[in-house]
Structures are given as structure tokens and as C-alpha cells.
Chains A and B, each alone.
Chain A
Amino acid sequence: MDLIVEGIIQAFVLLVHGDPEVMRVAALSLGISLAATVISLFIGVTLGTAIGLTRFYGRRFLVSLINTGMGAPPVVVGLIVTIMLWRNGPLGVLHILYTPYAMVIAQCVISLPIITGFTMASIQQVNPKLRLQILALGASHGQLLWLLLRETRLPLLSAVMAGFGAIISEVGASMMVGGNITGQTRVLTTAIVMETGKGDFGLAFALSLILMALVYLVNLVLTLIQQRSRPR
């Protein structure tokens, strides 16, 4: 119990004093996860829309893979990305293992199926008659896509929140591809694991509170955007 109180106090002290290292770790956490979310948002929405609107051979199989990917264990993703990025691995020429870029890649891989799956489901859930109606009114294909995406923006923002939530809280892949290097790839989750290992539970708990506050703030912003206009 005293640890929890100590943690809360320590979290406040760290935040109020603006401890530079904690700030840097928090900013890196946020930056990596947001960059990964944005990238997989672009790819995922495109993929999800394409799969949601078309019918082709093997589609159900592909969808089942995406749905499985929504629950892909981050540590497995981390291991695969590490092996790929090793100096002597297939993508070793990139020289990005143990950098934030490697972490962005791993987190993209984790969040992509989530965003793709959500997009696909929400596009499919739109009444097909609406599509016909929009086309009948003389809209071009580009306009049709835009209108459909606008129609599904509520679930799409939920997709963003789910994708972001999955990766900012993820530790297995970040630890493996990032290496938890001081000042370079240490993010909140890996710092929490490390401080717990060191037996510094108070600091670990303080960092946890900061992480949760950060996740809440991002989701608050997204929720405000989502709920801004009346759902129709």
C-alpha cells in the first residue's frame, strides 16, 4: 500500500519537476506509437476499404488471417522483426535495429491488422443500398469512397484508439527491437520493466501512472473528435 502512495507522490514529483529523462522517455513512447498509428492508419484504411468493398477468391481466408493478426502476440512480432533487421538478416542493410525506427516498424505490424480489421468491418456494415444510391446520384468512385469513409468515421476513430492502445502499452516487441537503451530507445513500458527488475517499485509505479495518464490524454483527444458531431 505504501508503495502505491509512494508511486503516486513520485509520479507527481517527476511531472512537476519536469524530470528531463522521464519527459524524454514519455515523449519517445508517444512519438513512436503515434507515428506507428498514423502509418498503419493510412495503410490499414486503404487495405480495409479495399477488402471490405471487393469480393475475390480467398477473401475469407485473408479476412481470417487479419482477424488473427488482431491478436498477434507483440513478443512474436518483435522476434520476427528482430531477426529480419539483424545485421546479417534480410533487412540488415537498413541498420535500424535498436533504433526508434525499428520500434515504429514493429508497432506498425502490431496495429495494422487491428486498424485493417476495424475498417473492413465498418465499411461492410454500411447499408449496401447506400452505395447504390450514392452511385445513382452520379458520384464518382473517389467521391463514393470519401462518403463511405465519412459515414464510418465513428468506428474508424475507434479503430485508431484500439490500434494506438495496443501499441503504446506493448512491451515485448519494444524491448526486443529497441533494446531499452538509455536515451535512445527507452520507452515508458520498457523503463517500467527495467525499474521493476531493479526492484525500484515506486519509480516503476510512478512511470506506470504517467503512461496511463498519457494514454488517457490521447484517447480523450480522439474521443472528443469522435463525439464532436452528432452521430447520424
Chain B
Amino acid sequence: MINLSKRKFRTMATSSTLLVVLVLLLSLFAGACSPSPASPTTPAATTPPVATTPTAPPTTPSSPATTPAPTTPKPTATATPAPTATAAVPKPANPELILATTTSTADTGLLDAILPMFEKKTGYKVKPIAVGSGQAMTMGERGEADVLLVHSPDAELKFIQNGHGINRRLVMHNDFIIIGPSGDPAVIKGAKSAIEALTYIAGSRAIFISRGDNSGTDALEKKLWKTAVIDPKGQTWYQETGQGMGATLNVAAEKRAYTITDRGTYLKTRKNLNLDILVEGDKVLLNVYHVIEVNPQKSDKINAAGAKAFSDFIVSTEIQEFIGKFGVDAYGLPLFFPDAGKPE
């Protein structure tokens, strides 16, 4: 008898512990799922770049850019008159907006910096999916994204021509650079053009790391090889990672290899790389970003209003100014140059 009741008690205790743990964890989950008003930042709280600006005011920091340390909250920022901050956040009919974009905009932290501003101003909830430009456009083509921020001009024009997108607008540019080990085994430093540099690399069979993921960077690189009339595919010195820019830079650093990267991602990850800029400034190395709204006629599921709101936002004077200053604090020079409204 005593034995039985003891066992019963034990079972009860066990199951009640389980229950308490479950309830606790589920409530934790519910809390985590619900959107918190605090503007999201990357977990990279300890890294200096602008990605971590939890207190970034909705307006661009009009204060002189000489005050660095964006990680420290600036209580004065909220005190400055910000008309949009006091106004209630508007509630769009369909708040869910899928932005398909490139890994470079995510890896540089630019998206993390501007999306909270956009969400605060317009009430849209953006789901940025960072993939290569190629995949981003495929998502648009399938109607699985609403707006694209991409940098693969040839493919973009095709995308528009095929009726998948509308309203392609210039947003910003930076440039591509050819980087490699400081020893420079293929002696490309001083090459007159990017094409010449690639010819040297192919000639010396020095290892070259390619994205190989159909991204904007990959498309440019393939175009350069084609112009140089070299087919590197299948060569032992030509290796494809199939990954984003950041990951590809890591591989190139580890293999002491050459690669082509956008300057923004390079500046952001430079400290771990130990790779030097060897060729830059060639006109063919220009890296131009456009925003494209996915053609709403494709399907009624596309959030056309949201796409337009985002496009208008990113080419607005306010955000263009912000883009021009982005990265200056951390790197001494901007990662992107604003271009909205300029001729192509």
C-alpha cells in the first residue's frame, strides 16, 4: 500500500515537472514568435559596423558623421524633432513583403540598418531573403518575391523584357575588385585591365575561387572570362564554392587564392582575410544595384503596394543620404555610393 502510493506520488511529481517545463518553454516560444517592438539587429552586437543601431532614428542621422560608435545608444537622437516618429505607424492592408536580394547587401549589414527604418515608417513587415541575384530573380519570376534589390544588369534587363518586373530603378553602386594573396603569384598587380589580370591568372594557373552560384558577382565574373576568351570551367585551378560572397572570401583566404568580390563585402570582412586588392578601377568592374518591383500582373498574391513603397523608400533622398554615409564610421569610406535619379 505504502509502496503504491509512493509510486503514484512519484509519477505525479514527474508529470507535473514535465508539464511545468513545457508550459515555461512554450510561453518562451510564444514570446519569441511575437514581433517585439525593439528594432531587430544582428546578433553581431559586438562588431562595430552600423548593423547594430538599435536606436537608429527613423530619419537619417543629420548630425555630423564625425560622431562614431553607432553601438552606443544616443539618447539625444530621440530628442531631435522627428515628425515620423511621433506619428502612429500606418497599417497597410497586406503588411507582408518579401524582398529577394543579394548576399552582399546582407553581409555588409546595409539591410539590417535600413529595413527597421522602412518598417517603422510604413508598417510593412519585410522578409529579406538574401540569395544571389540569379536566385532572387528566379523567385521574382515565380511570384515568390515582391521586390528585388539586385546587381546583375544583363539578367535584370532580360527579366524586365520577359515581363517579370516593372519599374527598374537605379539605387546605388560600388565596384568589384580583384583580390588575391599579397605574394601575387600570377603578378596581376599593375595589369592594365581586369581582362588582362584574368589572362595572367589563367596563364599561371594560380588558384581562382569563383562564386559559381549564378549571383550578380558570378555573372560579372563569367562575362569577364568570356570577354577574355578563356573557358576556365573544369580547370583544376578554377574552383567554385557555390556559396555567398562572405563564405567565398573565407575560402579564397584559406587557399591563398584570387577572387572577384564587391568592395563592400571585402571591406567588411577584410580583417580576417589577409588578401589584398590587386586590380581596381576598371570600368567593367562597376557594380550597380537596381530595385525592381515584381510585375503584379503575374499573380494576385504579389504585394504590389508594398513593393512600390519599398522602391520609393530606397530611392528617397533620406535613405540615399544614409546609404552614402553607411560604413564611413567603421571603415573610413562608404561601402556604397547612392545613385538614385541619376542617368544609367
A residues near B115, Cβ cutoff 8 Å:
182
Q: Are A95 and B25 in contact (CB under 8 A)?
A: no
**A contact patch SS:** helix
Contact with A along B98-137 (1 / 0, CB 8 A): 1000010011000110010000000001011110000000
Within 8 A of B (CB), among A16-43: 19-22, 24-25, 27-28, 30-32, 34-35, 38
Q: How many angstroms from the CA of A182 to the CA of B107 in the assembled complex?
A: 12
Does B228 have its Cβ within 8 Å of any Cβ on chain A?
Answer: no
Q: Are A228 and B14 in contact (CB under 8 A)?
A: yes
Does A165 have its Cβ within 8 Å of any Cβ on chain B?
Answer: no
Q: Are A183 and B36 in contact (CB under 8 A)?
A: yes
B43 touches which one: A186, A225, A228 (CB < 8 A)? A186
Q: Are B269 and A98 in contact (CB under 8 A)?
A: no
Q: How many angstroms from the CA of A225 to the CA of B16 in the assembled complex?
A: 11
Contact with A along B232-248 (1 / 0, CB 8 A): 00000000000110110
Q: How many angstroms from the CA of A202 to the CA of B158 in the assembled complex?
A: 41
Closest to A183 in B: B40
Does A100 have its Cβ within 8 Å of any Cβ on chain B?
Answer: yes
User: How many B residues are at the interface, by size bracket?
Assistant: 35 or more
Q: Are A88 and B142 in contact (CB under 8 A)?
A: yes
User: How many A residues are at the interface, by size bracket?
Assistant: 35 or more
A221 touches which one: B21, B36, B111, B250 (CB < 8 A)? B21
Q: Are A184 and B35 in contact (CB under 8 A)?
A: yes
B301 touches which one: A88, A207, A229 (CB < 8 A)? A88
Q: How many angstroms from the CA of A22 to the CA of B40 in the assembled complex?
A: 11
Q: Are A21 and B41 in contact (CB under 8 A)?
A: yes
Q: How far is the CB of A81 from chain B (nearest CB, A)?
A: 14
Q: Are A19 and B45 in contact (CB under 8 A)?
A: yes
A residues near B29, Cβ cutoff 8 Å:
27-28, 30-32, 34-35, 100
Closest to A181 in B: B127
B residues near A71, Cβ cutoff 8 Å:
none
Within 8 A of A (CB), among B20-45: 21-22, 25-26, 28-33, 35-36, 38-45
Q: Are B33 and A28 in contact (CB under 8 A)?
A: yes
Does B168 have its Cβ within 8 Å of any Cβ on chain A?
Answer: no
Q: How far is the CB of A19 from chain B (nearest CB, A)?
A: 5
Residues on B facing A (Cβ under 8 Å): 7, 10-11, 14, 17-18, 21-22, 25-26, 28-33, 35-36, 38-47, 96, 98, 103, 106-107, 111-112, 115, 125, 127-130, 142-144, 243-244, 246-247, 249-250, 268-269, 271-273, 299, 301
